[in-house]
A and B are shown apart, each in its own frame.
Chain A
Amino acid sequence: MARYTVVVLMHILSKKIGVVLFIALSSTALSILALSAIGSIKSLYGVYDAFYPINSSSRFKIIISSDAVSPFTSIVDLKYIEEKLKGFENVYLQSVFVTIGFVGVEPVVIYEIKDVKDTCAYPDQELLKRTEVLWNGFIPVQSVFTQETLFLRICGVGEKPGIGVDHNTIARIRGVPSNYYSFVIVEVDDMDTLSKVYEALALRVDESAVEKLVRRVMLVAIRGDKIIEFREFQNPTEVYLAKFGIYRDYIVYLAYSIALTALIGLPLLGMGTVRYLRRDLEIFLSLGIARKSLLATFIVLLSISITLSSIASVIAVAHLDIKPLTSLLGYRIPLNIDSSDVIYIGSAQFTLCIAGIVNELKNYEG
């Protein structure tokens, strides 16, 4: 059987290479689309991750955010957190302030830079190029929250996308007193301190939950009014998008459903391939080659072409510039594609194609 399979395969590769190329091209195109759909949706879901300066230190972390719809609207009173954690040793607080403002009609991220002059602004190079609303070395930034427009002096070019300003200015744009921040990251060195921090913050978490959460490293405690209410999330974006009724699991299901639906026409590709090779197949069958050998040939052919198309599609997706989905407020968000996604898509393509081939081969008598 193996010999017949090789003979048929060699015949197809030498005489009907067009069929192989057709399968490879079609599956590459669909694979690119499926992977870009999964990658874009997953990237969009993790859109706020870019704003969290989470380093890879071995410390345990709790992120304290308010009950908001985005990190740009979240506010946390640092004084309140500091009071709660007064007297603790080996507890490190990192406060981060990001908000959103308008430059002209374009929404931009405003972030805090330490040790800079009041009224100084550090817009990024791209923003400076894009915007035409510079007014004699000043940039007008309109607050979404107070409607106030601040004319900030451009003192340099910022490294991150958006506009870097000092703490007082960002607090003014956000319309809050200076002791407020977007979120506070509490870092501790050991588990014992972590439990004490939970207690101090009035977070009611049982031991098993603590272990589960520690494994995830990323924790988010929501603060509403004067009570710190604890909720567990897998990543920061989930905290905010949950308010819109958008949950991580459903987003992942949606991404994979879209990718699979995009591939649903592939049985036709399998049928078309067999149909195109029908004369050759009929000759092979009349020569006594079993249908099983033909099926084996197609399995080998599909495996090769789908593997090659998967590699080609990964390279293509990595180099494709799908701007609307991979950038938000100037932040470039890479497409979030795992190697497992490539394997899932490749397997789905193979299964659907082979289903079509099997269905069409039934019509051929031995």
Chain B
Amino acid sequence: MQLHIDARVFVIITIIFLNGEAFGQNRPESFTFNFTRVQESVNALDTLSGIAFFFYGKLYLHVRHPINQIFFVDGNKIKIYYPENKTGYRIMSGTPFDLPIVNSLLASLEDDYGLAQIGFEIRSTSVLGDTLVTNWEHSTGSDAGTFDVFYRNDIIVKARFNAPSVSLETVLKNHKTYNGYVIPTTIKTRHSAIRDSVTETLYVDGLFINPYIPESILNFEFPDEAVIEERRL
């Protein structure tokens, strides 16, 4: 019991005082895994599967179902390639793109769910049974929404975001330890907006930390014969 209380105090102290400094310290630089993402809405069920490589902030996805697609995200640039008909897009934007599939996984590897990095500050903490709950608000005020992050045994098991027009609840479960990193292998997110709601479940399998990544993935380039459309946003 004493050990549990001490652990909670440690987590609180880490979150309050190390905020930004703690960001990224416990995240592996690269990993790969097979993914299956299932999305359910009122009248649709959609499954997406393939393999993901995350390395040094970049993301390479090889989607195998429902379409053969290579999706490479590098900051403000995306390369989308369709091997079957050798066509694709190079999209460049003024702001960074989000990282599909790995977003929640990356957030779960941060002590603070990555919130300090995007301007959130801790407002309060409470303990519910064996769960530590931290409440976060953006430094500009609650207009940007509030987060509740739930920790059990020092790992994040749930995150909840509430804003006037949208709410998200992400449940992280079936954690497994890979090379000392505790990683959730099932991430279920329920997204509710005014006009729609969707439940998305990400299943992670065959995860390797700091794997060998071939050059063709590290610096993905379109084949010479490919027909590529360039879009600058």
Q: Do A and B bind each other?
A: no
B residues near A, CB below 8 A? none
